Amino acid sequence: MAAVMRLVNRSTLSSVMGQHYAAFSSSAKLTAAGVNAGHTLPDKVKIVEVGPRDGLQNEKTIVPTEAKINLIDMLSESGLPVIEATSFVSPKWVPQMADQVEVMKGISRKPGVSYPVLTPNLKGFQAAVKAGAAEVAIFGAASELFSKKNINCSVDESLQRFDEVMKAAKEAGVPVRGYVSCVVGCPYEGKVAPEKVAHVAKRLYSMGCYEISLGDTIGVGTPGSITAMLEAVSKEVPVSALAVHCHDTYGQALANILVALQMGISVIDSSVAGLGGCPYAQGASGNVATEDVVYMLHGLGIQTGVDLSKLMDAGAFICRTLNRKTSSKVAQATCKLKIICGLQFRPINTTFVFGTCETSLKDNNCIRWGWKVKNVSPWLQMKNWSRQSATATPAEMHTVTQPLSATSPNKTAQHNRTNTSLFTVATVKGRKRIRTEEAWKR
């Protein structure tokens, strides 16, 4: 982590990113000890999945209601404890959320899983409760300009508007989660002082929000600036009541989450497949991908209760629906591994859909295939392929016996190729090689 801090404070960032954004990366000049251990990592982390709400509302493609319901149900099966289902806002402002009632009525509510919804005002709260919502969320901002441009009122005025929501929620016995946007930087006024964030977080907590999620809305936070912000907020709100909501616009999300974990945070917001772009940076990534967060947490020995494989299936489903690629590095890497290790014996121009990746062996840059692979392949006789059939393993793949005398160093050897013991025959710069699946993993 000390190395990370040295990197983000280099003055060379100014020439690369511009002076405006360099200020974010060099704002907190902390020593390694300030970011480093002394704090033990939590044994367990609660992940709040925000993809169906925060993720989809930033997607331009309108997702069918049935697909939203399927996505939430798939996420429920993955073991996620909290899934933000939708938002009870005006369809005029957020068309993607126009089917909020249908979504709430259509999802299969799994015991032990919470399905909160966003309610910006009393009208939204009442509609949410009527639709069956058992938990809601409200949003505040630490930036005056952001608040005025988005909801046409000051930060303090926005908090006053939430009073009636909090009173109604208390009467109905509905827990409320609070969000604070722009906790590090604002697209309109630049750097946001940690004291402003602490002020808003304290107000929301004192109003009755059981948990405060701190959102780096434009993703400019670094381990240094996140640490400074968390230090200020934790003086006003118990760490046990805090969560972080990181965007990966500048590729800092996982590093920022690690810092938060070291400071005692045990609740992380994330979005499956990295759904949701950054509306203030065209083409940039938005929410950090849940798959990447889970992979990192499991690597740290932290329990999440999430099945990563099922989570990636959910990400693949919604990405196919949106006709977009996943933003999850873990999903991308897993897809490439499947291409290398599992598709060796199909025709070279066959199009495959694995997860959210669509490719052919000919187009894949990982390896170039020799013609003899096609010659010994059981797929040689298959003339017509469709995407639907390509996603399923043909029967011939399960057990195939073929002589590899033409390509094997041992010309008398016979090899059994199955889906668990794959032999790859590849031509690399004119040299013939045979490698097993395990060799590729190395």
Specify whether 278 is catalytic. Answer: yes
| Contact indicator for 100, 65 with CB cutoff of 8 Å | no
| Contact indicator for 333, 101 with CB cutoff of 8 Å | no
Packing angle, helices 290-299 and 253-262, rounded to 10: 50
Runs of H (alpha helix) within 97-186 = 100-106, 122-130, 144-151, 155-172
Q: Which of 186, 209, 278, 357 is catalytic?
A: 278
How far apart, in whole angstroms, are the C-alpha atoms of residue 224 and residue 27? 7
> How far is residue 195 from each of residues 191, 260, 280, measured CA to CA in Å?
12, 18, 24
| Contact indicator for 425, 404 with CB cutoff of 8 Å | yes
Residue 429 has phi, psi (to 5 degrees) of: 50, 45
| Contact indicator for 196, 159 with CB cutoff of 8 Å | no
How far apart, in whole angstroms, are the C-alpha atoms of residue 390 and residue 412? 33
How far apart, in whole angstroms, are the C-alpha atoms of residue 52 and residue 275? 8
What single-letter DSSP state applies at residue 134? S
Tell me the catalytic residues: 278
